[in-house]
Amino acid sequence: MKNQNGLPMKDLEIFGVVKDGKFTIPDKEVNALKNGGMTDIVELKDLKGKDFQIDRLPARLSIVRGEDGNPALRIDPVYREPNRHSNLNEEERTQLVKKELANIKKSYVDKEGNIQSEIIEYDERTKQFLSYNPRDIKAPQSVNGFELNPQQKKNYKEGEAVQLADGTELQLSPSSPKGIRSNKTGLVVSVLLDGGMSYLLLTGINRMIGKKSQEEKAYSEGYLQAIKEVQKQVERRISRNPKDLDAVRDLNNIKEEYSKISADQSLPKSVRQDFNIQKIKGLNSIDTEEGRNPRRAIEQRDNDFDRDI
């Protein structure tokens, strides 16, 4: 059985996320798993084990590194009431639940006697506390075209707010749909992967906890330039493989952002004209089967998963 984009397919089959070679959760939740984030609440059904049987279990899913170093499925069930965390006192627990704090950093001694750190935050969807070790986090190389310095990367990994030169603020948040919070509605994040630099366009980002001001529009100069880098990268992916449906989906997202920018009357006319949707090359969703028949494309994608499993 092959892994799909680093997904632990055996785990996904065991818990019914993949059945008969097809995903049983919505496409956007599959993409969340592929991108290293958490899904929204999905419903797992007919879970059976040696000593248990569960008809239905609402939960959020994510992919973590297992004890053997390989990808593993993590299931965070929905609780009726906020659960407890062994490293939080009652005051800290209340501060997180009431969103007075975004997270709390704690230290503990591991099994080998080493002092470790964990960042704890509250997930209001599942009503439980999530924690992570900063050592397991890979910080972005740049955001909206601004390179992060070593101190900013350290702060990001430890759950602290990072401020860029143009006033953009961002903060790691594993429980958020995009895995990040910001005072901007959109960010372009670049990460260093084995194949080189990769750009990721994030829109619809949750606002930062504790910030009184409303989210600012994303259209800083750095953001506008970074979107063009994302566009070039995605078009190269489609040039190499016109059947790359994930790349087509990404280009659709870029086109939506182009439309918003070109329609924003607060921007200079020259900027709006520069983001005219017609400037995107012919390698776009209109010229693909997915653009002409999105329902059929989704069915085809399911068949592709079927063949690869």
From the number of C-beta atoms within 10 Å of its C-beta (0-12, 13-18, 19+), residue 67 rates as exposed
Is residue 240 located within the same domain as residue 273?
yes
pLDDT for the residue 61: 94
Is residue 100 located within the same domain as residue 71?
no
Inter-residue contact 94 to 88 (CB < 8 Å):
no
pLDDT for the residue 284: 45
Inter-residue contact 223 to 152 (CB < 8 Å):
no
pLDDT for the residue 290: 42
Is residue 179 located within the same domain as residue 294?
yes
Question: b/e per residue, 142-180, with b = 16+ CB within 10 A?
Answer: bbbbbebeeebbebbbebebbebeeebebbbbbbbbbbb
Above pLDDT 70, what percent of the chain?
85
The dihedral sign for the CA sequence 22, 28, 33, 34: positive
Which among 136, 158, 178 is the end of a domain? 136
Is residue 207 located within the same domain as residue 292?
yes
Is residue 211 located within the same domain as residue 162?
yes
pLDDT for the residue 43: 92
Is residue 278 located within the same domain as residue 171?
yes
Is residue 248 located within the same domain as residue 156?
yes
Is residue 110 located within the same domain as residue 200?
no
Inter-residue contact 264 to 220 (CB < 8 Å):
no
Please tell me the pTM assigned to this model: 0.77
pLDDT for the residue 255: 92
Which domain does 103 fall in, by range?
A: 80-136
pLDDT for the residue 211: 62
pLDDT for the residue 288: 43
CA 52 → CA 46, 55, 72, 239, 285, distances in Å? 10, 10, 21, 49, 46
Best CA proximity match to 189, nearest among 154, 160, 153? 153
Per-block mean pLDDT, blocks of 10 residues, the chain (309 long) = 66 91 90 87 84 87 86 92 90 95 92 90 94 91 95 96 93 92 93 81 87 66 92 92 88 91 91 85 47 43 37
Is residue 292 located within the same domain as residue 185?
yes
Is residue 132 located within the same domain as residue 246?
no
Is residue 151 located within the same domain as residue 118?
no
Which among 30, 54, 78 is the end of a domain? 78
Q: How many domains does the chain have?
A: 3
pLDDT for the residue 277: 82
Is residue 60 located within the same domain as residue 186?
no
